[in-house]
A and B are shown apart, each in its own frame.
Chain A
């Protein structure tokens, strides 16, 4: 069974631009979460989607947004990029994200903002 797939793997953008990252969850998984990983702040929760609805959001500015499609695939968007948005963005999927869950992570998208 295929794992969590994130595309693209690497991305270089210029400050002020916007970017869209994609995540395809494991087949049958309906919950998709996004995390940002930086050397300074570590792993931080961005948001979680289930059945096309955002159920929870972390403490990030409104420039960070996401959505989930009917096939459970998810995208996250960052507008007006800042240098500090350079990070590894990780997507995780789980069956339903409820209660006792086991999240499977993708390999991440490395975003560099110049």
Chain B
């Protein structure tokens, strides 16, 4: 069955420091992968997506992610974190043909001054 693992429940990063959030997936076919961000009490906003082609994808708000098929990973990165980046981040895989997303359990990012 398809699954997504985000091993870090919480991560604290100092403002201005770099960030990497981990995501591993289990999926039999070519995965379509997504990163979403959720602020408290809000819906999900798409940060970036990987469908095919270049394995390094750029997203909004200065985020990027790298797809590594050999490691079944799709880690999210940002070179310099801002206090406004504090939120919960979800990695997801689309189950092709079933019109649904399978989400990881999320990583809550805290940004310290």
Q: Which residues of A are in contact with B by a Cβ distance under 8 Å?
A: 4, 6, 31, 33, 35, 42-43, 45, 48, 50, 55-56, 58, 90, 92, 97-108, 110
Contacts and interface: CB of A to CB of B under 8 A. Distances in A.
11 contacts: A6-B43, A31-B99, A43-B101, A43-B103, A45-B102, A55-B99, A97-B99, A101-B32, A101-B94, A103-B101, A108-B43
A56 B98 contact: yes
Given A50-B99, A55-B99, A56-B100, A100 B51 contact: yes
B17 interface: no
A80 B94 CA distance: 31
B44 A90 contact: yes
Given A90-B43, A107-B42, A43 B90 contact: yes
A68 to B, nearest CB: 13
Given A42-B105, A107-B43, A102 B99 contact: no
Interface in B22-44: 32, 36, 41-44
Given A42-B105, A100-B32, A106 B99 contact: no
A100 B96 CA distance: 8
Contacts of B36: 105
A90 B42 CA distance: 9
Contacts of B32: 100-101
Contacts of B99: 31, 33, 48, 50, 55-56, 97-98, 101
A7 to B, nearest CB: 13
Q: Which 3 residue pairs are nearest across A and B when measured between Cβ atoms?
A: A43-B103, A97-B99, A105-B43
